[in-house]
Structure 1
């Protein structure tokens, strides 16, 4: 049996289940401003608290949807030192292959706290690798609708 086969056997019983709930993270104006600067998306609804207070339907600035998406490694703790061996035993490398679907059902108002819930959707063997699909839901504390729902695809190599 190969390392890829071992990983599939390890993950198969977890299909369709929630595999991780991350810690809460507060999205502050400094983080929003830094993201705006890096991406060049300086629209006032993100970067001008005074104008947003007056003119935005939310009464405050909101985080970029892509900022929320870019926080997935942090919110899922996917880069934590213990994460890799705990979740992919016997493997040596994980690559972000992409996203199948992303939605932003609810805006993230400055000061909101977010956390991610991860559901294991699929595990597939590939030549020399294993492809894993997760559904990640980014919750906003105190809100019924999530900030983001994304289907992420990763590939793991022995």
Structure 2
């Protein structure tokens, strides 16, 4: 995996319409699921009760919270691209986010990203990125969607 490095709008613009890359796989553990539950106060049994999930869940085990998988976006995105020369980056929008497949405990996931568009808004780069969270050895992704970041580059 090679990390794409971008330092300004013009460098970024040349990738419009192109796949930017794929992150490394990240294994989602029960500990991570439990910590996310504690942080978000979402204690649904399907995420935390291993014994019950193995017996009653259609997935045969506990599953990651959908929002836990979404919260991995910055971490996985950072494995694909390094945006340099920034004043700041703002998470702006998530569109058409669709959860397609549950991520079962100990599944490995990775992010695939494509730059759909890049617009210059009075010196602020608005990047729309198509994201697919792939599950190792599963043909169906965990989710798909479009995320938008605002990049405030230094002059």
Residue 14 of structure 1: SS of its match in structure 2? coil
Which structure has greater helix proportion?
Answer: 1
Equivalent residue in structure 2 for 1:138, among 133, 138, 150: 133
- Equivalent-residue separation in structure 1 for 2:40 and 2:96 (angstroms): 21
Q: TM-score, normalised by structure 1?
A: 0.86
- Alignment map for 1:1-158 (pairs within 5 Å): 7-77=8-78, 83-85=82-84, 90-158=85-153
- Equivalent-residue separation in structure 2 for 1:105 and 1:96 (angstroms): 23
Q: Deviations over 1:6-53 (max 9, x none)?
A: 944323331221112111100010000010111111110000000000
- Equivalent-residue separation in structure 2 for 1:128 and 1:9 (angstroms): 11
Structure 1, unmatched stretches of 5+, are: 1-5
- Tell me how far 1:75 sits from its aligned partner: 1.5
Instruction: Calculate the aligned-residue CA RMSD, in Å.
Output: 1.8
- Count of aligned positions: 147
- Equivalent-residue separation in structure 2 for 1:148 and 1:74 (angstroms): 16
Which structure has greater strand proportion?
Answer: 2
